[in-house]
């Protein structure tokens, strides 16, 4: 991804010097791509840094964690006051905050930039989410990023996010939404194939049709491509020869963990993370398949109603995934003092990134009209869309349970919708239970204060 981003920068006529700790890789890169633009390469880190015009702009594209720290430790001693160091990897935002503070003490500006789009996006135009020191970003970096970013209606899919770790935080939540979106798609495929009885070509065709509807998105588009792919070695559908164990690099897990710490109900993304971890327990699942009973499946043949209902169940659940993600962004922005503009984030996700979708136009409009909207589901367009979709949505979740086909993201999205729209829920009982066994107290609906019932004595209520 780093190599393709460098090529993208050079193709826009921006001079760039490249370096890799493995000198052979640098040489191969120059042999293959050196003629694509003003590119120089250097075997030694010292010569590489020395070749850059001051004040320098240095971009690091390495694996998150220890590798990023190692690069910073190697590069920082060679930088001068006023230089800019950019981390374009998927770093945890707390690490970015730590690195930002450490480099600021040396007079070096640190920018944590979320970059989405994979290798293809890096080359042809990614969505870029930079955070850190605003003044040096706008003066030294913005022109570069805006030149190489994807464009939507002529506008670059790049916008300053906020101070210190804000850029990497937004990218983390982007990836969390991506987890939920892919899990919802996988569940829909599962139900179409093993619930509705469609074959793979029919399912691929259905996804192609969905991509011409409200569901239009990059992930829907490529789902059709994957389902239609035939494995050259075996002649079987590729999806049938891929091991059913979904891997992960951690950003979805970080998103769910952060939501728990902030008290944000992020059910769809959390279910997507748990579904991946369950898929990893393949040997256990094979044993369970032989021992654990499921429902007897009645009838046979295609279930046309389930197939038609799935479009709307998927659409409604995708709305919920975005609603939860943007609610998390709003909460974190307030708690961290970042000032993230949600409409701007929706704008820069409309092209280049993995979760680009037609839906983002409506999301941008919703937050542009009401920047402090507490939840996307409350915007008129989305409230109507969810109301219109709820009957097929409910039928899909119920049918999945009847068939014994797991649909955790679809079901949890519906539960979130139902839980959010209730003015009064069952948590009063939970508070009563907590007060009885742990004297945790409760609040009343009819007067202010905290109260405790003397359960072990005479049952009197006392204010505490």
Residues 6+ apart with CB under 8 A from 215: 311, 314, 315, 318, 357, 358
Residues 6+ apart with CB under 8 A from 393: 309, 312, 313, 316, 317, 410, 414
State yes or no: is 178 an active-site residue: yes
Task: Single out the catalytic residue among 46, 73, 155, 171.
Answer: 171
> Of 237, 220, 234, 232, whose CA–CA distance to 178 is shortest?
220
Task: Single out the catalytic residue among 178, 187, 214, 271.
Answer: 178
* Residues tagged active-site: 171, 178
């Amino acid at each position: 991804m780093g190599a393709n981003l460098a090529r993208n920068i050079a193709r826009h006529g921006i001079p760039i010097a490249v370096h890799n700790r493995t000198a052979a890789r640098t040489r191969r890169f120059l042999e293959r791509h050196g003629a694509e633009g003003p590119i120089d390469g250097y075997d030694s880190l010292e010569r590489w840094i020395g070749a850059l015009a001051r004040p320098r702009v240095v971009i690091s594209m390495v694996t998150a964690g220890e590798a990023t720290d190692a690069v910073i430790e190697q590069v920082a001693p060679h930088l001068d006051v006023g230089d800019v160091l950019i981390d374009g990897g998927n770093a945890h935002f707390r690490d970015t905050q730590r690195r930002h503070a450490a480099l600021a003490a040396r007079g070096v500006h640190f920018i944590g930039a979320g970059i989405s789009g994979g290798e293809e996006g890096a080359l042809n135009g990614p969505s870029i989410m930079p955070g850190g020191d605003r003044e040096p970003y706008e003066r030294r970096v913005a022109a570069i990023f805006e030149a190489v970013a994807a464009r939507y209606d002529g506008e670059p899919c790049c916008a300053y996010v906020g101070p210190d770790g804000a850029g990497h935080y937004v990218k983390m939540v982007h990836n969390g939404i991506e987890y939920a979106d892919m899990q919802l798609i996988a569940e829909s495929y599962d139900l179409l194939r093993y619930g509705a009885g469609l074959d793979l070509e029919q399912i691929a065709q259905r996804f192609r049709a969905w991509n011409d509807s409200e569901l239009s998105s990059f992930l829907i588009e490529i789902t059709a491509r994957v389902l239609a792919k035939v494995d050259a070695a075996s002649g079987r559908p590729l999806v049938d020869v891929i091991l059913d164990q979904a891997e992960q690099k951690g950003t979805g897990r970080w998103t769910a963990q952060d939501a728990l710490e902030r008290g944000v109900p992020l059910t769809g993304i959390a279910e997507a993370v748990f579904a991946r971890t369950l898929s990893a327990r393949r040997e256990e699942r094979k044993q369970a398949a032989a021992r654990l009973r499921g429902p007897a499946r009645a009838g046979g043949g295609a279930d046309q109603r389930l197939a038609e209902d799935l479009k709307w169940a998927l659409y409604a659940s995708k709305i919920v995934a975005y609603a939860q993600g943007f609610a998390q962004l709003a909460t974190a922005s307030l708690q961290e003092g970042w000032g993230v503009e949600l409409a701007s984030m929706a704008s820069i996700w409309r092209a280049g990134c993995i979760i680009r979708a037609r839906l983002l136009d409506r999301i941008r409009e919703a937050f542009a009209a009401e920047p402090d909207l507490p939840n996307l589901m409350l915007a008129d367009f989305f409230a109507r869309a969810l109301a219109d979709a709820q009957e097929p949505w409910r039928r899909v979740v119920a049918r999945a349970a009847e068939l014994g086909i797991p649909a955790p993201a679809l079901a949890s999205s519906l539960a979130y919708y139902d839980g959010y729209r209730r003015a009064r829920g069952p948590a009063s009982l939970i508070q009563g239970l907590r007060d009885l066994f742990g004297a945790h107290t409760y609040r009343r609906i009819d007067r202010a204060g905290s109260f405790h019932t003397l359960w072990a004595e005479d049952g009197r209520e006392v204010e505490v």
